[in-house]
Amino acid sequence: MVRIVDEWSAANPSVDVFGQLPLEGPDDYVPTNFEFVQHLRPEEYTERYRNADFIVAHAGMGSIITALSLAKPIIIFPRRAALREQRNDHQIATVKRFARVTGIVPTFEDADLPAAMDELLAGMALASAPMIGSHASKALIDGLSHTIASSERRGVLNPFARLRRPQDAEGVGAETPLPSQ
């Protein structure tokens, strides 16, 4: 992905491109056409997002959530499991799932990426991305609050034994009962 952005940056010299690239491996591509750093502190990261017109990133939830919460269009490009960049191909699933969210531009293949960047540069692609707020859904938070408030300590349990869950006790679709504590 970095190589593609580097080539695009060379082809679009009037565009100010900035990268945050961990460059962890010896084979990682080092760009020559745009400025980058290997690490950004959270406040710098947020500031860079704020100042950008659009973002290009792998399909990681940190990038996606930050972009959506700051209403910045983001092009997402999946990492590949085969390249040991990732434990599985869940990033491809992420791109598919988020493809229709306003503000997210999905890409799957190398060739998609420069085209997507050209489109955003031309201002063609998007209504402005939605603000999603800074908290999880109320239902999830309420459920967790309740779990916390009603939690009771149970003394030492065996970390190698499996729990029986309430839904198992009801026998809903259970095939074999789990061993009880």
Partner 1 sequence: MPSRCKRVLAIASTGGHWVQLFRMRTAWSGCHVDYVTTTPDFRQEVIDEARARGEREPNYFVVPEANRWQKLRLVKLLLQVVAIVLWRRPDVVISTGAAPGYFAIRAARLIGATTVWVDSIANAEELSMCGKQVEGHADVWLTQWKDLARANGPQYWGAVL
Q: Which residues bind partner 1 (CB under 8 A)?
A: 41-43, 59-66, 68, 84, 87-88, 90-91, 93-94, 96-97, 132, 134-145, 147-149, 151-159, 162-163, 165, 167-168, 172-175, 178
Taking residue 10's Cβ as centre, other Cβ atoms within 10 Å add up to 13
Q: Which is nearer to partner 1, 127 or 148 (CB)?
A: 148
C-alpha pair distances (Å), 107 with each of 19, 102, 125, 146: 19, 14, 13, 40
CB nearer partner 1, residue 14 or residue 133: 133
Written as six digits, the tokens of 22 are 């961990």
- Least distance between partner 1 and beta carbon 77 (Å): 14
Tokens of 170: 């009801």
> Looking at beta carbons only, is 26 or 155 nearer to partner 1?
155
| Residue 25 identity (one-letter amino acid) | G
CB of 92 to partner 1, least distance (A): 9
Cα 77 to Cα 32: distance, rounded to the nearest angstrom: 21
**Closer to partner 1 by Cβ: residue 91 or 107:** 91
CB 9, CB 17: distance < 8 Å? yes
Cβ proximity to partner 1: between 50 and 162 the closer is: 162
Give, in degrees to the nearest 5, the angle at Cα 88 between 135 and 174.
75
Supply the minimum distance, in Å, between the C-beta of residue 136 and partner 1: 4
In whole angstroms, the minimum distance from the beta carbon of 150 to partner 1 comes to 9
For partner 1, the closer of residues 40 and 52 by Cβ is 40
Minimum CB–partner distance for residue 145 and partner 1 (Å): 5
Distance CA 71, CA 73 (A): 7
Q: How far is the CB of 102 from partner 1 (least distance, A)?
A: 13
Q: Which of 4, 8, 2, 43 lies closest to 20 in space, CA to CA?
A: 2
